[in-house]
Structure 1
């Protein structure tokens, strides 16, 4: 009896997921389209939050995948993916990139190479959001004007472990691996594994 109930609920989950797929596609397509995103093929579980400013640019290559629903990737700390591109921002996402519950905030320039895997709850920021000067932060105009921004680049085949934070001005090389819960504030060479807070070299990533 128990086995029959288990099989029933497993089948029900698969059925629900299959029924939701066309809805996920339509909603994602509309969200990309009304935000002026240049996109190709994608497969989203749920649909991401997208906000592209009037002067911003967002390009997403083919084979894009995102998990935005808890049942699609139940790894904890569930959030829908969020893609924010400011009025002067430029976000370029390559081909065959996968993200889960990821937040990308681009006020300057972020580039993600082909075949990159980004784990659950990763955040990528190319801005400090606010000035580092306490007097400037008091006034919203000077706060915005003096905010430091710098480009972020993630090379092809890189893997970013879950719950990591990638901050402005860093470059992560091809086939590099960032361990879970890391805070990336410095460049990571290609074919290396780095982890920690602050992030540090672990070992070479043998091909």
Structure 2
């Protein structure tokens, strides 16, 4: 018999309180049938998770960033990384900053953010100075698109891997000539579409007079032209 007024209550399943606040399948308490979740507020942190270089104990083994690979887990199974080739220090790891996420009316999940150079590596590095923007689109059919754009440094490479199993495949890479890559994943296979850009306007296009667009501040007007099929 158990007396829930004494310490033995911790061994009585009827007395236990088992919580899984982040719904990752691991409880924050011992004796609940799973290994203890060391951070029950973050679903990406739990026993057995892949260890990423992010200053956190992702796999709850009491060690931080041991044997990890560079890069970031945007979700529990999507890994991305960016490397900037600088004059000052050569290749440096760019820092990922999530901007936000939303769900469309169709049920698609959209995540956006940017990479920037760390001020610890180069003097011009700043989280307020994005060097590359990222848009990630999980559509409700199960397809995933990873788009990289608005590059503002001379040389950068971006990688992504999905589904991430702890070892990045680094299948999709953008460079300065290859500024746009659409990655998509269907039925466990990875595919990509490339677009090489030289910064010149589309062939046969020239503006007439002042281009239409939007005035964002008094002396800056921006516009966009989409080439459609």
Give TM-score, length-normalised by structure 2.
0.29
Mark the structure with the bigger radius of gyration: 2
Judging by fraction of residues, say which structure has more helix: 1
Structure with bigger RCO (C-alpha 8 Å, 6+ apart): 1
